[in-house]
Amino acid sequence: MASITNPFQSSIQTSSRFSSLYLSPNRATACHLVLKTRSLTTKATRLAFSPLSESRGPPTPVELSGKALRFSGWSQLLRRRGSVEFPVVAAAAADADGYAKPSKSFSEKFPVLVTGFFFFMWYFLNVIFNILNKKVYNYFPYPYFVSVVHLLVGVVYCLVSWAIGLPKRAPINKELLALLTPVAFCHALGHVMSNVSFAAVAVSFTHTIKALEPFFNAAASQFILGHQIPLSLWLSLAPVVFGVSMASLTELSFNWTGFISAMISNIAFTYRSIYSKKAMTGMDSTNVYAYISIIALLVCIPPAIIIEGPQLMQYGFKDAIAKVGLYKFLSDLFWIGMFYHLYNQIATNTLERVAPLTHAVGNVLKRVFVIGFSIIVFGNRISTQTGIGTVIAIAGVAMYSLIKANIEEEKRKAAATPTS
């Protein structure tokens, strides 16, 4: 029997076996030194540290018996704190065994910042494209040729990206080509008609008309694909139709060319959506958009040559160069093509990062940004009725997008829930 009270207070209980050593320092002035027995057949002992609270009471008497080692008031605590893990040692052992977790990338650490950056770039590139595109039309009103330039710059960008392996080009066969050709044709038609409208009327008015695109999508889904559209979706489209009609009646820049072209663009993009669903492939979105751009470029070249070719050769190019100079003319064409391709690519990448509901809201806000900035930059005068109609139409699109996104989310959850 031994009792040490100065400088340490402890109780030592011995039995017929020796054990591993438990040191439990809490302060330098007081601690408990415990000897606990283990079988002599054990080949290794363990040293563990478990901090205990300071006790200034009389030392616990020593029992010389064959019973298990017990400490009054501390037995349960000692069982719980029988060992302490050392993080540094554990990490080193995990690394040595090859089980260390890899460090997270910036996008994994800050997903909100990365997604916000994608939304910012989507809006920024779209607004810049619409403004610069309209400025070009103010001195070079040839939308068929400009549409070809948009696609041509994008195709060159894709070819260069493939050449350096960013991304790696996905192979294509006759079956995939047959599936993508209708999508590309509708993409080309919708793109050209949008540019015809941009050249003919104010940018804000074209985007107001294009707010009717959800109406055409719902009609095509109901009457062409045979999908049942809920009544709530149809009701949400009523203010869209009313708002566009109200804005069109008093639009100062209204003309039938711009209006009909924007409506044809809506129909073309609706069919593009239909054919896109039928042409679902395992190819990534970047490669799909690249192939669609190449096919659409081939579709757009013949009408541009036939409709605008003679005028361009006679005076179109000469007038543009005389107004702004050769360098600015070529640089403007290059940058509107680059902004067009990049904003479409960023929009696709943004859709892959967020839920459908978030993307729907973002798409509505994007249209609001484009309309607002175009009015500010170009100083377009709009009547009060046109402004109210535009707001009503955008609000209707917002309601439609929210309701549709919620319906799609419910379908997705229902499909993911296992049937009992």
CB neighbour list of residue 347: distance below 8 Å, 6 or more residues apart? 122, 126
Coarse DSSP helix, strand, coil percentages of the chain, rounded to the nearest 5 percent: 65, 5, 30
Which residues make beta-bridge pairs with 34? Answer: 22
The pair phi, psi for residue 183, each rounded to 5°, is -65, -45
Can you tell me the distance from the alpha carbon of 399 to that of 403, in angstroms, rounded to the nearest whole number? Answer: 6
How many angstroms separate the first and last alpha carbons of the chain? Answer: 68
Maximum separation of any 2 CA atoms in the chain, in Å = 116
Q: Taking Cα atoms as reference points, which of 229, 254, 233 lies closest to residue 244?
A: 254
Q: What is the pTM of this model?
A: 0.68
**Residue 419 confidence (pLDDT):** 55
Q: Taking Cα atoms as reference points, which of 139, 7, 14 lies closest to residue 69?
A: 14
Q: Taking Cα atoms as reference points, which of 355, 377, 342, 398 lies closest to residue 124?
A: 342
Strand order in the sheet with 48-49: 31-35, 21-25, 48-49
Give CA separation, 126 vs 129, 153, 214, 337, 339, in Å. Answer: 5, 16, 20, 12, 7
Can you tell me the distance from the alpha carbon of 56 to that of 79, in angstroms, rounded to the nearest whole number? Answer: 22
**Residue 58 confidence (pLDDT):** 54
**Residue 67 confidence (pLDDT):** 47
**Residue 59 confidence (pLDDT):** 54
Query: How many other CB atoms are there within 10 angstroms of residue 279's CB atom?
Result: 18
**Residue 230 confidence (pLDDT):** 86
Q: Taking Cα atoms as reference points, which of 21, 12, 15 lies closest to residue 45?
A: 21
The pair phi, psi for residue 19, each rounded to 5°, is -140, 180
What is the per-residue pLDDT across 252-298, written as a single tens digit (0 to 9) for each?
778 899 999 999 999 998 888 888 777 666 788 788 889 999 999 99
Q: Which residues of the chain have pLDDT under 70?
A: 1-102, 106-108, 279-281, 355-361, 418-420
